[in-house]
Amino acid sequence: MDLRGIDVPTLSDGSLVLRPWRQDDAAGVAAMCDEPSVARYIPVPSPYTLTDGEEWVGDAARKWSEDHWAQFAVTRSETGELVASCGVKLDVERQSGEIGYLVKKEARREGVASGAVRLLIAWCFDELGLGRLQIRADPANTASRRTVEVCGFQYEGLLRANDVIRGERTDDVVYSLLPGDPRPGR
Amino acid sequence: MKDLGDIAHPPILADGLVRLRELRAADKAAVVKACNDGLVERFCYRVPYPYHENDFVEFLAYNEHFWATDLMANWTVVDRQSDELLAMISLEVLPLRQAGEIGYWCAPWARGRGVMSAAVRLVRDWAFDELELERLELTTDVDNIGSQRVAQAAGFRREGVLRGYLTARERRADDVLFAMLPGDPREPLVGLPDPRLEDGRVIVRPFEPADIPAVRHACDDPDVAYWIHLVPHPYTLADAEQFVIESRRRLAAGERARLAIADAQTGELLGSISLDRFADRQAAEIGYWVKREARRRGVAVAAARLLVRWAFEEVGVERLEILTYPGNAASQALAEKLGFRREGLLRGFLAVEPGKERAGRAELLPDGSLPPRDDQVQFALLKADWTG
Whether residue B186 is contained in a domain is answered as no
Residues B32 and B175 grouped into a single domain = yes
Q: For strands B72-79 and B99-106, give the pairing.
A: unpaired
Q: What is the mean pLDDT of residues B248-261?
A: 91
Tens digits of per-residue pLDDT, B1-11?
A: 888 888 888 99
Please report the pLDDT score of residue A186 as a whole number. 53
The minimal CB distance from A160 to the residues B97, B162, B179 is found for B179
Mutate to test the interface with A, among B98, B101, B163 (most CBs of A within 10 A): B163
Q: How far is B135 from chain A (nearest CA, A)?
A: 7
Residues of chain A neighbouring B177 (CB-CB closer than 8 A): 156-157, 159
Whether residue B295 is contained in a domain is answered as yes
In which domain, by residue range, is A58 found?
11-177
Whether pLDDT at B280 is above 80: no
Q: Is B150 helix (H, G, I), strand (E, B) or coil?
A: helix
Give the integer Cα–Cα distance in Å for A51 and B191.
52
For residue B45, which of A95, A127, A179 has the smallest C-alpha distance?
A95
Of the candidates B121, B154, B180, which is a domain's last residue? Answer: B180
Average per-residue pLDDT for chain A: 93
Residue B60 DSSP class: H
Residues B270 and B335 grouped into a single domain = yes
Whether residue B188 is contained in a domain is answered as no
Residues B267 and B163 grouped into a single domain = no
pLDDT greater at residue B65 or residue A120 = A120
Give the integer Cα–Cα distance in Å for B37 and B107.
8
Q: What is the mean pLDDT of residues B51-70?
A: 92
Residues B73 and B176 grouped into a single domain = yes
Give the integer Cα–Cα distance in Å for A168 and A165.
5
Whether pLDDT at B33 is above 80: yes
Looking at the structure of chain B, the number of domains it has is 2
Tell if the CB–CB gap between B166 and A163 is shorter than 8 Å: no
Please report the pLDDT score of residue A77 as a whole number. 96
> Which burial class, exposed, middle or buried, applies to B2 when counting CB atoms under 10 A from its CB (0-12, 13-18, 19+)?
exposed
Residues B76 and B124 grouped into a single domain = yes
Is residue B164 less than 8 Å (CB to CB) from chain A? yes
Please report the pLDDT score of residue A4 as a whole number. 78
Is residue B167 less than 8 Å (CB to CB) from chain A? yes
pLDDT greater at residue B374 or residue A26 = A26
Give the integer Cα–Cα distance in Å for B181 and B128.
8
Q: What is the mean pLDDT of residues A95-117?
A: 95
Whether residue B192 is contained in a domain is answered as no
Residues B109 and B204 grouped into a single domain = no
Residues of chain A neighbouring B164 (CB-CB closer than 8 A): 96, 131-132, 176, 178
For residue B9, which of B61, B95, B55, B69 has the smallest C-alpha distance?
B69
Give the integer Cα–Cα distance in Å for B221 and B242.
17
Is residue B161 less than 8 Å (CB to CB) from chain A? yes
Mutate to test the interface with A, among B165, B171, B176 (most CBs of A within 10 A): B165
Whether residue A5 is contained in a domain is answered as no
Kind and range of the H or E run holding B222: helix B222-227
Q: ipTM for the complex?
A: 0.80
Residues B364 and B335 grouped into a single domain = yes
Specify whether the CB–CB gap between B285 and B321 falls below 8 A. Answer: yes
pTM: 0.81
Whether residue B185 is contained in a domain is answered as no
Whether residue B189 is contained in a domain is answered as no
Whether pLDDT at A86 is above 90: yes
Give the ranges where A14-138 is alpha helix by DSSP (H). 26-33, 36-39, 50-67, 112-122
Whether residue A183 is contained in a domain is answered as no
Residues B161 and B212 grouped into a single domain = no
Q: What is the mean pLDDT of residues B273-296?
A: 91
Please report the pLDDT score of residue B166 as a whole number. 84
Residues B175 and B236 grouped into a single domain = no
Is residue A174 less than 8 Å (CB to CB) from chain B? yes
Q: What is the amino acid identity at position A132?
A: R
The minimal CB distance from B166 to the residues A94, A163, A174 is found for A94
Residues B117 and B209 grouped into a single domain = no
Q: What is the mean pLDDT of residues A127-132?
A: 93
The minimal CB distance from A94 to the residues B157, B165, B177 is found for B165
Whether residue B265 is contained in a domain is answered as yes
Q: For strands A132-137 and A96-103, give the pairing.
A: parallel
Mutate to test the interface with B, among A94, A98, A173 (most CBs of B within 10 A): A94
Please report the pLDDT score of residue A167 as a whole number. 83
Q: How far is B335 from chain A (nearest CA, A)?
A: 36
Please report the pLDDT score of residue B298 as a whole number. 94
Residues B172 and B31 grouped into a single domain = yes
pLDDT greater at residue B192 or residue A158 = A158
Q: What is the mean pLDDT of residues B130-147?
A: 94
Specify whether the CB–CB gap between B142 and B249 falls below 8 A. Answer: yes
Q: Sign of the CA dihedral B357, B363, B367, B373?
A: negative
Whether residue A186 is contained in a domain is answered as no
Residues B159 and B301 grouped into a single domain = no
CATH number at residue A64: 3.40.630.30
Interacting residues of B20 by C-beta distance below 8 A, sequence separation 6+: B12, B13, B14, B75, B76, B77, B78, B89, B119, B122, B123
Of the candidates B155, B180, B205, which is a domain's last residue? Answer: B180
Residue B216 DSSP class: H
CATH number at residue B345: 3.40.630.30
Whether residue B260 is contained in a domain is answered as yes
Please report the pLDDT score of residue B108 as a whole number. 95
**Cβ atoms within 10 Å of A3's Cβ, excluding its own:** 13
Give the integer Cα–Cα distance in Å for B66 and B73.
7
CA atoms within 13 A on the CB side of A8: 25
Average per-residue pLDDT for chain B: 92
Whether residue A4 is contained in a domain is answered as no
Specify whether the CB–CB gap between B197 and B257 falls below 8 A. Answer: no
Tell if the CB–CB gap between A93 and B167 is shorter than 8 Å: yes
Tens digits of per-residue pLDDT, B338-355?
A: 999 999 988 888 888 888
In which domain, by residue range, is B17 found?
4-180
Whether residue A168 is contained in a domain is answered as yes
Q: For strands B18-21 and B269-278, give the pairing.
A: unpaired
Tell if the CB–CB gap between B163 and A176 is shorter than 8 Å: yes
Whether residue A52 is contained in a domain is answered as yes
Interacting residues of A57 by C-beta distance below 8 A, sequence separation 6+: A21, A22, A23, A25, A26, A29
Looking at the structure of chain A, the number of domains it has is 1
Q: Is B214 helix (H, G, I), strand (E, B) or coil?
A: helix
Q: What is the mean pLDDT of residues B239-248?
A: 94
Please report the pLDDT score of residue B174 as a whole number. 93
